[in-house]
Chains A and B, each alone.
Chain A
Amino acid sequence: MTRRNGFTDETLEWRSWIEPLQLADATPLQLDVLDESHAQSRTSPYYLTLAHQPSMLRHRSAAYNAIMYAPGGLPRAERELGAMVVSVTNGCVYCTSVHAQRFEQLAKRSDTVEQVFDDPASAGTTERERAIATFAIAVTRRPQALGANDIAPLRAVGMNDEEIIDLLHAVAIFAWANRLMQNLGEPEGESEADRAQAARGA
């Protein structure tokens, strides 16, 4: 278990500030979209909240699942690293917990997770991980100032255009995911102190 600066890799629950859809009231379209989105979405307050707009959720889930799970291209652990760095930078404690776990499962180690929780700007066990973390922070904090200097370190660690696009997608989709998690609800049991620490830390 890794717990630092208000972030954790333990499993958290999330509660919505919007009344989630009741399954008994769901239309066939809403049920189809829930089932396409995630294996547990019929019992997830997050997916049941987003299911108020089923066609918007359908296309969001298609994008998310293709970005995070499609085979080939950038290794999945590196997509999860990008997602985790963005989530810490944005102070999204819930997303951070999920994607720290996924990184640990895929990479079979947790050293990088500890480094990201401590300071994403210097995190990374290898040069390639440091390049990924640096790029994820730049895309999150200063998208309009991105330039060739932000791409060069990714090419220097061996990434081709297809892998860089995979990383860009993974980092950008967490600009989307963090905002939904942070603005429609909150992690259950997150204390004010944890939240303040996570907000300051990143």
Chain B
Amino acid sequence: MPTPLDAIDVIDQAAGLAPGDPLHGARRVRAKVVEASQASHDALLLQPVDGLSPADRLRVAAHVCTLAAAASLEQHYADRLADAPDCDAPSSPALPAMLTFAAKLTTDPRLGDRAAIEPLRRAGLGDAAIVALAQLIAFLSYQLRVVAGLKAMRASRGDAP
């Protein structure tokens, strides 16, 4: 699905880019990257996964952004959680294990050894759910760095807020 050149995606929004900004246009030189980054976000949060509800994934995402001090993305995930249809349903009993795993990967990927995924299994996550969770957390490390880099580029151009 082509992205209209005048659209704003999650990365633009978090980095404060609007259509007409030079950096908004410069991102679109790599339209495939823009589209695949947004499509990854959508699939990682919304694709049905046994044992991993969309609301719990949004809780993990907000937690990762809190740990990484990525304030604008944290707000995005908190807003999405508030709007999620299952936001009032109880979180999974596996959520504490998911948050611990997320914290390890986010702060230092060297902390994620074989033992780090055992608590996820004990909490009932299957292979496909563990892969989805690892993809989500790893993607967030990418997304928050792209946003931070674009903000730094805005600052270097003198058009930062």
Q: Which of A's residues lie within 8 Å of B, judged by CB? A: 17-19, 49-50, 52-53, 55-60, 62-63, 66-67, 70, 73, 90-92, 139-140, 143-144, 146-148, 150-152, 155, 161-162, 164-166, 168-169, 171-173, 175-180, 182-184, 186, 199
Contact = CB atoms under 8 A, between A and B. Distances in A.
Given A55-B43, A165-B27, A173 B117 contact: no
14 contacts: A56-B40, A70-B32, A140-B145, A143-B70, A144-B69, A147-B156, A148-B156, A150-B152, A168-B149, A168-B150, A171-B149, A172-B146, A176-B139, A183-B138
Contacts of A62: 32, 35-36, 39
B109 interface: yes
Nearest to B31: A66
Interface in B36-94: 36-37, 39-40, 43-44, 47, 49, 68-70
Contact of A53 (B35, B37, B132, B153): B132
A148 B155 contact: yes
A49 B35 CA distance: 24
A183 B139 CA distance: 13
Nearest to A168: B149
Contacts of A50: 131, 135
A42 B29 CA distance: 32
B141 A179 contact: yes
A66 B68 CA distance: 26
Interface residues of B, number: 52
Contacts of A90: 109-110
B60 to A, nearest CB: 14
B145 A183 contact: no
A179 B39 contact: no
A19 B121 CA distance: 13
Interface of B: 22-23, 26-27, 29-30, 32-33, 35-37, 39-40, 43-44, 47, 49, 68-70, 105, 109-110, 112, 114, 116-117, 127-128, 130-132, 134-135, 137-139, 141-146, 148-153, 155-156, 160
Nearest to B114: A17
A58 B149 CA distance: 25
B118 to A, nearest CB: 9
A57 B44 CA distance: 10
B141 A175 contact: yes
Given A53-B49, A168-B146, A73 B29 contact: yes
Nearest to B128: A52
A161 B26 CA distance: 7
B40 A183 contact: no
B70 A184 contact: no
A200 to B, nearest CB: 10
A183 B105 contact: yes
A173 B142 contact: yes
